[in-house]
Amino acid sequence: MTATATERPATERAMEALRRGGNPFRNYFARNPDDDVCARYHVPELFATERDLLLAVVDLYRQDPSTHSEVIPVLGNKGAGKTHLLHSIKHGPEARWQLLVTPGVYQRDTEFLEYLLFQIIDTLLGGGRQKGIRPLEFVGEELIRGYVHAALTALDPEAKRDLFPATGFGRLTRMIGFGGGSVEQRCQAFLDSLQQRENAIKFSRPLRRCILDAGLTPERIFDLVAAHIERSESHSTAGLMRRAICLGFARAVLLEDEADLANFLTFGFAELEFHVRPTRQDLVLALLKVLTAIFRELKIPVVIAFDQLEDLLLARRSDDAHRIAEAFFAGIVQVMHQIDGLCFLIFAERGLWNRFVPSLDGYIQDRLNNPMHVPGQGTVKTLRLEAPSPELVRRVVEARLRGLLDPGDDVPEIFPFTDEQVFRIARTEPTLRDMLQQFRHLFDHLVYGTEDERVIRPAEARPSMVVKGEARSNRLGNEPPVHVEIPMTGTPPSRLEDPNVSIKSVLVFESEHPPKIPLPDAPIPLNSGTSVPLMPASPPVVPASTAPSSISNPPVDRSSSSSLAEMWDQEWRAARRQLEPEGALTGATRELQSALGTFLQICHEHGVKVGPWRLQHVVPEFAFSEHPTYGVISIAHWACKGGQPWKVGIGLFLGKGGGKPKDLEIKLASWDCEPAVIDHLILLRPDDDLILSGRSKSLWQDAERKGRHTRLEGMTLDRFAALYAFPRWLATITESLPEGQPLPNLADLIQEKCEKLLEQVCMPVQG
């Protein structure tokens, strides 16, 4: 009696805590490599072997930066844990840092070299962090510390004395010829402070702090570094690009001004003085080579990781899958031939890989299938993710429940589950995502005493002994139907309780309401590989005072619209963080333009209206200039009440400094295309920089004199974030849908979340 009385309160307290915390298995898959769900529920032992192998591949490029660019496919079923594995590489605690580029979109109508360049620029300048630090900060600290060291070492004694002026008695001793040793000591102490590290990723102190502690000023050190860069860099095209990039990093790190670097990477590189004007692709290749050469010198591996390849390439089910896949893989092979030192990781479903790769040209297949030798690991050609062992699945369950259970309660780590239930699910489900889905249903059943709403679908009648119920899938959670086999009256109980008995004949009915069927005490093995969420043999007693109806977080499935809104909010917040740094918006110009095209295309496909205006046709990206950054707009054909549509060009006008008039000049040149492609031009610009002056004002007035309908729309950072987030939100929805299921209609949510943005990219709406 005493033992029972002691045990019951512990289980009751644990059940109350679980009800208050909600179902930890609801967010059971990682939406992208930066999803914090991965870090919250990370189990280091999960895919540890595969992670170590991939990190060993990356280390090859760290040890020998000139290693040929290669591809490592990481294949697994949908839900196998590929995105979680990528997250652990990008943000995990391993002591080494690499520039990990994880494109959220594939710009299929853009040359692959150009697409890759702007993905690297966006990653470098954006606000996203890798292992707790922004890429620009990490690369800048590594690069400029080297330049400071080289510049100081090259100074003659007199210049060093000017840099480290003596004070008080030291000044007097220097005047009579003594005290030189003190200067050398101060200089050496400063140089030593530059090399002190907390670990392989982080220095003991930021560079600016080292400078201030040495009695120097960042402005003085910047002048010193700038002079050294001017002397040391060549005057070839590559040397001019490198000089400008290094000066941009120096200004960003020492003076905390990122604008120059962002402007050069998006504008200045195309404005250098060339003896022979290069083509657009030559410019892109030259800049990409200079950037990757800087990374190689710093021994910073550049890893391009394409995740959820099936959704990245096939955003719409109607796409020409083979053509898009062939262009994508051919683009990767082209880059591999032209640039060394890049490591490509492709996370893809096995079925997609086996569907596309064998049909590609032979030379593409050869490069994609080229094996790599990794010391201590052997030869690596393809990495395959299999379902984790039951013991590891138990660890995953523990991690999900750890934050909800009180360590002081005397209950198992996997409460309310039993080892038998966990191991049965682990052995019968094909992927980790399917397992987590089953744990989600089982948790709701055990903790809240509810069952999922079920729909039993019709099929042709067959002789049977069983009614087969199929749970309605949550299409936003990508949950396959959960099959429940239920014995009919008259079936011998002894046979049904035998787990080795398998009944194959079924009769399937359709019903809007689930039948009230008691569940047995032991799980029933299913032919489909899924298992039934069952109650344990001795379920905990739930007091009436803690019934689910009184809980603030009941286990009801979220509606389609609320799930879409939740996904939107998550992606929008991530996009805003990415665009907050000073140069991030400029660096994301091409990414935003591509996102604008995707936004308009989806608005067209889903019938979005703005007042009386409706889209009739969309050209997501129209390139009309040799400038890689500015020479692109999107074209939307807006029609009003059956009238003749207006062809509206919409472009991102984000150039700053010297790039501002150049950007405007190129965008206005879209009017000169023959035959005419636009009737109206809308330019989107940050609302804190709308005033045109000097040459920009002259260009605008000239367009007005020619009668060209052009308007400037001020955009807040929030609206730019909405644009940036849109294609990633779309990919998240696509990834969460069951195989073959089309997108739900998004018109209402788009009009709710992007109402003002829609008005800005449409013809004026009369009040």
Answer whether 240's CB lies under 8 Å from 159's CB: no
Beta-carbon contacts of residue 616 (< 8 Å; ≥ 6 apart): 604, 637, 638, 639, 645
Q: For the domain 47-127+301-380, what is the CATH code?
A: 3.40.50
Backbone φ/ψ region at 607: left (φ over 0), alpha (ψ -120 to 50), beta? left
Confidence of residue 274 (pLDDT cuts 50, 70, 90): confident
Question: In this predicted structure, what is the pLDDT of residue 732?
Answer: 83
d(CA 354, CA 350): 6
* Helices first, then strands: H and E counts in the chain: 30, 15
Answer whether 504's CB lies under 8 Å from 527's CB: yes
d(CA 394, CA 273): 63
Nearest CA to 597 out of 572, 570, 617 is that of 617
Torsion of the alpha carbons at 276, 279, 285 and 287, rounded to the nearest 10: 60
Q: Which H or E run contains 208?
A: helix 207-213
Confidence of residue 11 (pLDDT cuts 50, 70, 90): confident
pLDDT in tens, 438-456: 999 999 999 988 654 333 3
pLDDT in tens, 634-646: 999 999 877 889 9
Confidence of residue 8 (pLDDT cuts 50, 70, 90): low
E-state strands within 176-333: 302-306
Count the Cβ atoms, other than its own, within 10 Å of residue 359. 11
User: Which one is predicted more confidently, 104 or 573?
Assistant: 573
Dihedral sign, Cα of residue 38, residue 42, residue 44, residue 48: negative
Give me the helix-helix angle, 82-91 and 48-63, nearest 10°.
Answer: 50
Q: Is the pLDDT of residue 356 over 80?
A: yes
Beta-carbon contacts of residue 382 (< 8 Å; ≥ 6 apart): 72, 73, 74, 75, 369
pLDDT in tens, 124-138: 999 999 998 999 999
Answer whether 400's CB lies under 8 Å from 447's CB: no
Which DSSP state fits 447?
I
d(CA 181, CA 166): 12
Phi, psi for residue 487 in degrees, rounded to 5:
-65, 140
Question: In this predicted structure, what is the pLDDT of residue 449?
Answer: 84
Question: In this predicted structure, what is the pLDDT of residue 507?
Answer: 41
Question: In this predicted structure, what is the pLDDT of residue 36?
Answer: 76
Question: In this predicted structure, what is the pLDDT of residue 395?
Answer: 94
Q: What is the mean pLDDT of the chain?
A: 82
Answer whether 646's CB lies under 8 Å from 763's CB: yes
d(CA 135, CA 37): 22
Question: In this predicted structure, what is the pLDDT of residue 450?
Answer: 65
Answer whether 307's CB lies under 8 Å from 43's CB: no
d(CA 734, CA 749): 16
Beta-carbon contacts of residue 181 (< 8 Å; ≥ 6 apart): none
- Tokens representing 258 are 């990122």
Burial of 591 (0-12, 13-18, 19+ CB in 10 A): buried
Beta-carbon contacts of residue 352 (< 8 Å; ≥ 6 apart): 309, 310
Question: In this predicted structure, what is the pLDDT of residue 105?
Answer: 84
Sorted by where each begins, the domain ranges of the chain are 2-25+388-558, 47-127+301-380, 135-281, 562-760
Question: In this predicted structure, what is the pLDDT of residue 483?
Answer: 40
* Cα 548 to Cα 441, 447, 492, 545, 551, distances in angstroms: 15, 9, 36, 9, 5
Query: What number is the average pLDDT over the span 255-264?
Result: 95
User: Which one is predicted more confidently, 696 or 350?
Assistant: 696
Which DSSP state fits 164?
S
User: Which one is predicted more confidently, 63 or 732?
Assistant: 63
d(CA 689, CA 57): 45
3-state SS class at 282: helix
3-state SS class at 98: coil
Amino acid letter, residue 468: K
Query: What number is the average pLDDT over the span 238-253?
Result: 96
Q: Is the pLDDT of residue 537 over 60?
A: no
pLDDT in tens, 74-106: 999 888 889 889 999 998 887 789 999 999 888
Q: How, if at all, do strands 383-384 and 613-623 pair?
A: unpaired
Answer whether 682's CB lies under 8 Å from 761's CB: yes
Answer whether 678's CB lies under 8 Å from 646's CB: no
Q: Which H or E run contains 613?
A: strand 613-623
Question: In this predicted structure, what is the pLDDT of residue 270?
Answer: 92
Q: Is the pLDDT of residue 746 over 60?
A: yes
Contacts of 481-490 spanning 24+ positions with Cβ under 8 A:
482/437, 482/438, 482/441, 482/452, 482/530, 482/532, 482/533, 483/526, 483/528, 483/530, 484/454, 484/517, 484/532, 485/524, 485/526, 485/532, 486/515, 486/517, 488/464
pLDDT in tens, 43-85: 889 999 999 999 999 999 999 998 999 999 999 988 888 988 9
Phi, psi for residue 179 in degrees, rounded to 5:
90, 5
Question: In this predicted structure, what is the pLDDT of residue 504?
Answer: 40
Q: Rounded to 5 degrees, what angle do the CA atoms 87, 119, 239 make?
A: 125
pLDDT in tens, 158-194: 888 888 876 544 444 444 444 445 888 889 999 999 9
Nearest CA to 129 out of 161, 94, 176, 92 is that of 92
3-state SS class at 705: helix
Question: In this predicted structure, what is the pLDDT of residue 603?
Answer: 95
Query: What number is the average pLDDT over the span 760-766?
Result: 83
Beta-carbon contacts of residue 590 (< 8 Å; ≥ 6 apart): 107, 110, 114, 118, 122, 628, 629, 632
Residues in the chain: 767
Question: In this predicted structure, what is the pLDDT of residue 141?
Answer: 96
Question: In this predicted structure, what is the pLDDT of residue 376?
Answer: 85
